[in-house]
Amino acid sequence: MTSNKTADIRYLIKFGLGPNFINSLDQTDLKILYILQNDGRRRIADIADDVALSAPAVLERVRKLEANGVIKGYQALVDSKRVGKDITAFIGVSVGSQKEMDKFAAQMTRYQDVLECHHVTGDESFILKVKSANTASLEKLLADIRSVDGVTRTVTKVVLSTSKESQALELGNGLAEVPQPKKRASR
């Protein structure tokens, strides 16, 4: 017979409330994640059809994935050029001391044109992905970045064209069977 403590730990892990939640993702969870990554507006009922579960069961799984931070949020993918952000650039930033690293990262959250800020290894301390309206706005952003305490150097690479840009993650070898939408019978 198992102790109550053991049963409690199993319950926490099974229902994703403990640190081992990622280890409890099964094929159905991965399929749900795949579907939502590729179509975040997909109806729960349609997802349920694709993964052979009831809609309430899928909704419960989605809520669990959200509560545990596996699904961080939902957003529309906007074509930057169609909304006036014609320039994409990557900016390598060198910061002088370790003490100034956190301050720099916090400062970058204030700039709308800075989409990503990564602390990296190599010649630079950070790599920024930015989208800006034009070269003048990029130049202004670079001046702002260079004025942050501790910044010693920047290196900017302007993107000429993009052949792939995605936020979708590969969800493992176990997801060989990608769910195909079921065809509805015509009436």
- pLDDT confidence of residue 108: 97
Q: Three-state SS for 141?
A: helix
> Token digits for 166?
């995605």
| Domain 4-74 annotated CATH 1.10.10.10 | yes
pTM for this entry: 0.75
**Across the chain, what does the average pLDDT equal?**
85
SS3 content of the chain, % helix, strand, coil (to 5): 40, 15, 40
Residue 111 pLDDT exceeds 80 = yes
Query: How many of the other CB atoms lie within 10 Å of CB of 125?
Result: 24
What is the per-residue pLDDT across 64-110, written as a single tens digit (0 to 9) for each? 999 999 999 999 989 999 999 999 999 999 999 989 999 999 999 99
End-to-end CA distance of the chain: 56
Where does the pLDDT of residue 182 fall: very low under 50, low under 70, confident under 90, or very high at 90 and above? low
What is the per-residue pLDDT across 6-29, written as a single tens digit (0 to 9) for each? 344 344 344 444 445 566 789 999
What is the per-residue pLDDT across 158-179, written as a single tens digit (0 to 9) for each? 999 999 998 888 886 554 355 5
- pLDDT confidence of residue 20: 57
Residue of 44, 64, 46, 66 whose CA lies nearest to 56: 44
Q: Where are the domains of the chain?
A: 4-74, 80-158
Fold classified for 80-158:
Alpha-Beta Plaits (3.30.70)
Residue indicated by tokens 């730990």: 9
